[in-house]
Structures are given as C-alpha cells and as structure tokens.
Amino acid sequence: MTQAIHPKALFRLSVLGPLASREHLPRGELKRILSGLASQPYAIPGSRRCYLSEKTIEGWYYRWRQGGIDALAPRPRCDRGRSKLSIDMQEQIVQAKRENPKRSLDELIRLLETAGIVASGALKRTTVHRLLQHHGLSRPLAGDSQSIERRRYEANHCGDIWYGDVMHGPKVTINGRLRKAYLVSLMDDASRLITHSAFCPGETALDIEGVLKQALLKRGLPKKLVIDNGAAYRAESLQGICARLSIRLVYCRPYEPQAKGKLERWHRVVRAQFISELNSQHLQDLPSLNSALWGWVESVYHRRTHSVLGCSPLQRWQQDLERMRSLGPFAHQLDELFYHRHTRKVRKDATVSFNSQFFEVDYTLAGRSVQLVVDPQANRIIGVESLDGKPIGSATPLDSLANTHRKRQRSTVVEDPVTTTQQFNAIDLNTPSPIIMSEEG
C-alpha cells in the first residue's frame, strides 16, 4: 500500500519548484534562484512566519536531490526519548512526580535543588518536561492530575438548570472614569435562553444578585443554579436567597470552564456578534451599553434559530411554560429576600455608621448590637432589627445641626425616693437635710 505523502513535504517541494524543474544549473544560478525564493512570502504550515531563509531552502534542495520527496518529510530528532540527565536524577524526578502528580515543573526542580541533587539553575524546565512526557507523566492541560470523563448533557425541561458566569467586557465611562465593565449572565440550559444579562461595574456578589433578581422577575424560579466557585458566588447573602427560594446551588470545580460550555459559547457569540459592532455612542456609560445589549438579546439572539435546538431559544422556552416554577408566594416579598443585614453596635449618642455615614436610631438602643436591614441595590437602610430578627425601629441620617435645638427625652422612672439616685440628684446639696426622729426620740 502506498504511503501518504507528508503535507510539509508537499509544501517544501512547492517551494523548490523553480529548482526541481531544472536539470542543470549554470554557475551562480543556484544562488540567484535561492535569493529570489527567500524574498517571497509563504503560507508556512504550522508557523506564523511568512519567509524562509536561503540556507533552509538550500538544505531542502540537496535533501530532495538525494532522496526525492520522501526526504523532505520532517525527520524526528535522533535523541528523541533520550535524556542527558543521569539515571539517578531521572529516577528522582519520576519518583517525585508519581508521589504527587500535581507537582509542577518548577516544584520538581525546587525539590531537587533543595535536596542538593542538582545545582541551582542547572536544570531546565524543558529537560524535565521531555523526561515526564517520555514516561507518560506530563501534566494535562486542564490542570488536573487525572483525566475526567465528560459527556454532553441537556436538561429535560426549561427551568431545570440555569448557569451563571461573568465575562470581562469593554471599557465604559463609570463615575467619570474609563473602567472595564463585566457581563454577568444567567442562561437556561434546555433552551439556551438568557434569563437576564447585564454589564456591571464589577463581578461582586452584589452585581450577581442584581442580575439574579431581574432574572427571577422575568423568568420565574429555576430548580438548580450552576455557578463558579469564586468568593463572590460563595457569599452568604446569595446562599441565603437560594435557600429561601428552594433553588439548589451547585458550584463547579475550580479551573473547569468545560462544566459551563454552553455559557462559554454564549460569551464567544457576544464578543463576535455584539461587542464587535459597538461604537462610541454605546460606550458612553453603563445604561447605554446595557440598553444596546438588551435590545440585541431580545430581537436577535432569542429569535435566531439555534443550530442544536432546531428552533430559536425563545420558541424552545415557550414550549415548557406550563412546567416552570413561578414566583408564587415569593412575589410580594422578593425585595425582602434580597435585603442584606449588617450588625452594628449603637453608640452612646444613639448613632450607627454605615458606608462612612452616620444614622440615628432610637435612643433606648444605645450600647446594644443591632442589625441594619439594607437594600443593597438602592444602597439605603430599610429598618433596624434585633439580633434575633425582630423589627425595633428605623434609622435616619444624622442631622447634627437639627439636634442642637432638639428637646431631649428624660427618664420618667419613679422609684423609692430614699434610694433612687434620680431623687438624690434632685436634692440641693446646700440645703440642710431634715432630721428624722425615731419614736423613742
């Protein structure tokens, strides 16, 4: 059976065309042709370079004359599979890697240098990498020491699984400064419909909760929410919201974007079809950018036929409307579910601090620890609760000037006039005290 010709051999023969077609070359003709070939650009397979040197082309020419087109095929290194390291050092490296497959090349080199087996800086990373490759111990690209079985899956119905993730977006003007915006998105698995997506000034828990709240208002309650393992997603406030709404929160393994492949695909679509078409008018501020995003999502992305679904995401979503979980009893208290609570100790002047501002509470709470109920999206205090969650008043911004003319409340407690400190304080110390006589006196 005839062996296939290597693609690189065919390319090299195409470069040698003017030379391969000549049986005899006059004196100096070879150098002139080589110079002309080296000045031309080429689409070199597997390389970003466009030009070849005269020496490279000349080497190909003599190899072709001696062995034909087979000689132009890439030749493996003569030392492939061999290592210049001593047998003892090879065994040390292989053993260290097998003891802990997660050890990096730098860590293996550091261990050998610390043990005095090799001098500092004498062992190269490429040398260790080739040795590990030869023994089948090189680290997988995914960063895990063991291969993981992955299979394509899809939820049975819309609303069963939602995915959440953040993508770095373009720079826009935020509070008078040019800053990067972050695209926070939630996607339904079965339909690929974007339940809500918005460019935010950051990728904090507050930004994620804001997008989740809008998604719930528009699309109902999911059964499961799959998100990253970052600190923002681990916030207690987000966990509490999902627990109250009976949403199962699932965290992906770190450094595994494949677990949310559908959402990663959405990010590529956004970059290629939306961000690439933005102009300066769209990038004036976040409201302008989000307005353009929402218009594109609803009019283009949701209505375009998906290659896998065979219909548009919106059509697939509408097929399962009867099966989805509505907000139901949570509709009237959804805002309350997204409130944050911050513990503060009330000062002696009945004030508490929040976001570098002072607020006044009931003066009877002085010295006590309380919870401030805060609407994080509006950045305002809703009320004050005790530590066990009971409402105990409100908080108003401190007005020091108004307090100058404010009438203070006094204690009205009435106790035994002989033992009460208040009664003693009311006595004029300059007036002689009355003499109390006994019955015998």
* Per-residue pLDDT, 151: 58
* Per-residue pLDDT, 181: 92
pLDDT in tens, 252-290: 766 565 556 788 889 989 988 898 888 877 788 899 999
* Per-residue pLDDT, 210: 92
Return the residue matching tokens 């040197």: 53
* Per-residue pLDDT, 438: 39
* Per-residue pLDDT, 95: 85
- Cβ atoms of 38 and 51 within 8 Å: the answer is yes
For 242, the enclosing helix (H) or strand (E) is helix 236-244
Cα dist from 308 to 117, 192, 262, 435, whole Å? 56, 10, 11, 102
**Which of 338, 335, 297, 334 minimizes the C-alpha distance to 314?**
297
* Residues of the chain predicted below pLDDT 70: 1-3, 76-83, 139-153, 253-260, 408-441
**Which of 153, 228, 220, 226 minimizes the C-alpha distance to 190?**
153
Strand order in the sheet with 351-354: 351-354, 357-360, 396-397
How many of the other CB atoms lie within 10 Å of CB of 42? 15
Give φ, ψ of 202 to 5 degrees: -155, -175
| Domains recognised in the chain with CATH numbers | 7-72 (no CATH), 87-134 (1.10.10), 161-328 (3.30.420.10), 339-403 (2.40.50)
pTM of structure: 0.57
